Amino acid sequence: MRNFADCLVRKIDEMQNPSVIGLDPKLDYIPQHLKEYAEQLFPEEPTKATAKAIWLFNKEIIDQTCDIVPAVKLQYAYYEMYGVDSIKTMLLTARYAQRKGMLVIGDCKRNDIGSTATAYAEAVIGKTDLLLGDSMAMSGFDACTVNCYLGIDGVKPFIDVAKRDGKGVFCLVRTSNPSAGDFQDLELSDGRKLYEAVASKVSEWGEEMIGEEGFSSVGAVVGATWPEQAVQLRKEMPNAFILVPGYGAQGAGADAAVAGFTPNGKGGIVNASRSIMTAWQARPDFFKPEDFGKAARYEAENMKDKLNEAILHRKYVIQ
């Protein structure tokens, strides 16, 4: 039986790279020549032209990085805002990345209960029963993100689908945004912070999905901007695989990003989005717009080196 966490750990080990590329495209990130080409193909259909430009952009970055980066993360919002055609591009991107050997995380942060949560889970990581006796994976992501504010009622449907189909679930525990503490730092009657209580539940929920590599397919999202808390949370969630946002453009460096990794440097994967996609803009003296894919690879390799160096010389250590 496939276990998502095992697949992810082995892919990271194979490439010696604990990073994931967030393909969260905006038109500002896409070189002009791609946008002009897409406009020529669809001169009277702006949503189709936009979707085409995004697809060409995503495809090139995947082609340039699939042999050195184990996974991509697709944030729904950046596709939904451009309409139905770009949502189709998101799904096309996911399937293309998988064909290239990459794991794909659907960053949808779903949150609901009962049959609605089940419908979300089947849509994102499961499959849907159709007419004519057919059943089909509509999104086909290998894992997804969920907001567990509603408790187990909002998470169990995702866990059930993940267990059945060998997929993964990342629960929001300690997010990287500045106002995270408004709620997550609230102190409970037992003295714990709210995020610590959430972490304890995530660890409990994932006990039955721990794979051969020692990590659960019920993982956690812990932002790189809170390294001290990440160290503490690793104690609370010894078997959780941690997805780490906040690296690069959001301000966190490699040392902070790996703070929640286990003492042997495993159990986490660090996301970078903007810094990879706009690497060609950051170095105009070195990369032409046509070289945006090569620039993305350059930045991905740079990130890999920094993360591995940070793992080797840990600044934040679990006591």
Structure tokens at 120: 């979300």
Tell me the average pLDDT across 17-36: 98
Structure tokens at 152: 């187990």
Question: Which phi and psi (to 5°) does residue 255 adopt?
Answer: -60, -45
In which band, very low, low, confident or very high, does the pLDDT at 35 lie, cut at 50, 70 and 90?
Answer: very high
In which band, very low, low, confident or very high, does the pLDDT at 250 lie, cut at 50, 70 and 90?
Answer: low
What is the structure's pLDDT at 45?
Answer: 98
In which band, very low, low, confident or very high, does the pLDDT at 319 lie, cut at 50, 70 and 90?
Answer: low
Point out the residues that are catalytic.
Answer: 109
In this structure, the strands spanning 216-222 and 135-136 are unpaired
Residues 6+ apart with CB under 8 A from 219: 5, 143, 168, 169, 170, 171, 202, 206, 240, 241, 242, 243
**Does residue 216 sit in helix, strand or coil?**
strand
What is the structure's pLDDT at 176?
Answer: 85
At 203-218, the pLDDT tens digits run: 999 999 999 999 999 9
C-alpha dihedral over 207, 157, 110, 87, to 10 degrees?
Answer: 120
Tell me the average pLDDT across 24-29: 97
Residue spans of the domains in the chain: they are 4-308
At 281-296, the pLDDT tens digits run: 999 999 999 999 999 9
C-alpha dihedral over 284, 306, 78, 97, to 10 degrees?
Answer: 100
CATH number of 4-308: 3.20.20.70
The 3-class secondary structure across 138-190, one letter per residue, is CCCCCEEEECCCCCHHHHHHHHHHHHHHCCEEEEEEECCCHHHHHHHCCECCC
- Locate all alpha helices (DSSP H) within the chain, ordered by sequence: 4-15, 32-41, 46-65, 77-80, 84-99, 114-124, 152-165, 181-184, 194-205, 227-236, 254-257, 274-277, 279-282, 292-312
